[in-house]
Amino acid sequence: MKPELKRAAELAAEYIESFDTHKVSQETDADALRAKLYKDLTRDGLPPLQVIEELFEDAKDGLLNSAGGRFFGWVLGGTIPVSIAADWLTSAWDQNAATYACSPAAAIIEEVVADWLKDILGLPKQASYAFVTGCQMAHFTALAAARHKLLADKGWSVEERGLAGSPPIRVLVGEHHETLLRALRYLGIGTNAVVRISMEDDGTIAVAALKTELEKNPDAPTIVALAAGDLNRGAFDPFDEVCELAHAHNAWVHIDGAFGLWVAASDRLRHLVKGIEKADSWATDAHKWLNVPYDSGIAFVADPEAHKISMTIPVAYKVEFENVRDQFEWNPDWSRRARAIPLYAVLRTLGRKGVADMIERCCDLTQDIVKKLGELPGVEVLTTPIINQGLVRFLAADGNHDARTDEIIKRINQSGEAWFGGTWWNGMRVMRISLSNFRTTGEDIDRVVAAVKAALKT
């Protein structure tokens, strides 16, 4: 075996097997990192083994160990080892998953994985799909289909005529991630098209307010964007009710289920996504809660025709085959990584029960950590976790809870024992707990609670 391949595999294994001893994060000085990584680009190059070994050493201090079990920031999953192994094969095979002809195996693996996912996630069998880089591009892909369909229904071909002069699309949103708005920008729909619908106290869209808005302008081409698990509370919109209401007004319902959609895999949690199959499109990630490497998002569209028309391009050199799917007709990109391969490996390894167990375990551990943190003096629990997201803040004797919360987060993160992010919620500075890593254990939780306790004392 080439020494650089062997060494990279050893170093990678060493890295992922030693999270317990790594600091989750370390003080990183950008200039110190630059000093290490800015090498002279030599004329004749260097031995590959040396390059790999130096890369590992030089990048080390700049790695956020978010793939380990004591990382609770944003919503980042880890990587189940078999998915890393399959990702290596993906790179070694170096297939261009643009067309069936480029890689029959990659094309068929996408079909298989999409069928498994639709089954696990409770989505309609006929839904079309695209394996994209992340939920951001899943929004873009799904909403391109929405844009096509809503305007085609008005006799307007957006693919040929663009948006100038088209009937304006409006987008009704409740709780949403900013990537949804960026997808609207990419699509030329623009953020001025967004109408924010008021929210219930539990973080879900107010159905009565949505109804009023839908009735205001019944002929407008309309997208209703819902959340399956919002970032702060993990709240789920009432899909059943909203889909019926929106469809009665010919609106397209899009669901951001970047991580929350995965609760559909669990018998215990599936009730949270009741009615989800009635939507028109769904965007999710595999690199979050399925714990596969980046870049891995998936778009599903209930109307394959709208999906395909919005993405396909004519290619003179297309090789025709019977009964196969050319991925470029469904994706925003052309040449692309065969990114369904790690999903194939991880789904086969876990099985349905393994996926469900992983999701449930993360939710149970989130309950556990929030409860234990809430028992510490000076910690206020703001939301009881619905799934894997929780919010707490730290109270100050002088009443400046925002500053105290920031200070405690800083101390915890500096300890290297855990990593949490801060955010604003209901006008308060809060610490968000997000747990979507298969690696996190009960021992990790105890270790983290001890670190928070220590941070509170100093």
Which residues in 398-437 contact ligand PLP (CB under 6 A)?
Answer: none
Q: Binding mask 25-64 vs ligand PLP (x if CB under 6 A, - otherwise)?
A: ----------------------------------------
| Residue nearer to ligand PLP on the CB measure, 230 or 417 | 230
Query: Stretches 23-31, 128-136, 320-328, 367-375: which one binds ligand PLP (CB under 6 A)?
Result: 128-136
Q: Please, is 100 exposed, middle or buried when counting C-beta atoms within 10 Å of its C-beta (0-12, 13-18, 19+)?
A: buried
| Residue choice 99, 136, 141, 415 for contact with ligand PLP (CB under 6 A) | 136
Q: Does 134 bind ligand PLP (CB under 6 A)?
A: yes
Q: How many residues bind ligand PLP (CB under 6 A)?
A: 12
Name the strands in the sheet holding 222-227, side by side, starting at the edge strand that comes first in the sequence. Answer: 128-132, 297-301, 281-285, 252-256, 222-227, 170-173, 194-196
- Whole-number Å distance between alpha carbons of 40 and 7: 23
CA distance to 62, 259, 272, 283, 446, per residue, from 135 (Å): 26, 9, 20, 6, 32
| Residue nearer to ligand PLP on the CB measure, 261 or 356 | 261
Q: Does 382 bind ligand PLP (CB under 6 A)?
A: no
Single-letter residue type at 218: P
Task: Name the minimum Å distance from CB 136 to ligand PLP.
Answer: 3
Token couple for 397: 């004797």
Which SS3 state, helix, strand or coil, does residue 208 take?
Answer: helix
Task: Name the minimum Å distance from CB 73 to ligand PLP.
Answer: 10
Token couple for 207: 């159905």
CA distance to 402, 421, 432, 455, per residue, from 429 (Å): 5, 11, 10, 17
| Residue choice 15, 74, 116, 186 for contact with ligand PLP (CB under 6 A) | 74
Neighbours of 234 (CB within 10 A): 25
Q: Nearest residue to ligand PLP, using CB?
A: 134
Task: Name the minimum Å distance from CB 177 to ligand PLP.
Answer: 3
Task: Name the minimum Å distance from CB 241 to ligand PLP.
Answer: 21
Which residues in 280-299 contact ligand PLP (CB under 6 A)?
Answer: 285, 297
Q: Does 184 bind ligand PLP (CB under 6 A)?
A: no
Q: Please, is 21 exposed, middle or buried when counting C-beta atoms within 10 Å of its C-beta (0-12, 13-18, 19+)?
A: exposed
* Residue 394 near residue 410 (C-beta atoms within 8 A): no
* Residue 258 near residue 247 (C-beta atoms within 8 A): no
- Whole-number Å distance between alpha carbons of 411 and 456: 9
| Residue choice 118, 170, 177, 249 for contact with ligand PLP (CB under 6 A) | 177
| Residue nearer to ligand PLP on the CB measure, 100 or 282 | 282
- Whole-number Å distance between alpha carbons of 410 and 416: 10
Which of 120-139 are b and which e, b meaning 16 or more Cβ less than 10 Å from the residue's Cβ? bbbbeeebbbbbbbbbbbbb
Task: Name the minimum Å distance from CB 255 to ligand PLP.
Answer: 10
Q: Binding mask 223-262 vs ligand PLP (x if CB under 6 A, - otherwise)?
A: --------x------------------------x-x----
Task: Name the minimum Å distance from CB 6 to ligand PLP.
Answer: 32
Token couple for 84: 């890393």
Q: Binding mask 84-123 vs ligand PLP (x if CB under 6 A, - otherwise)?
A: ----------------------------------------
Q: What is the CA radius of gyration of the chain?
A: 23
| Residue nearer to ligand PLP on the CB measure, 116 or 294 | 294
Q: Which residues bind ligand PLP (CB under 6 A)?
A: 74-75, 134-136, 177, 179, 231, 256, 258, 285, 297
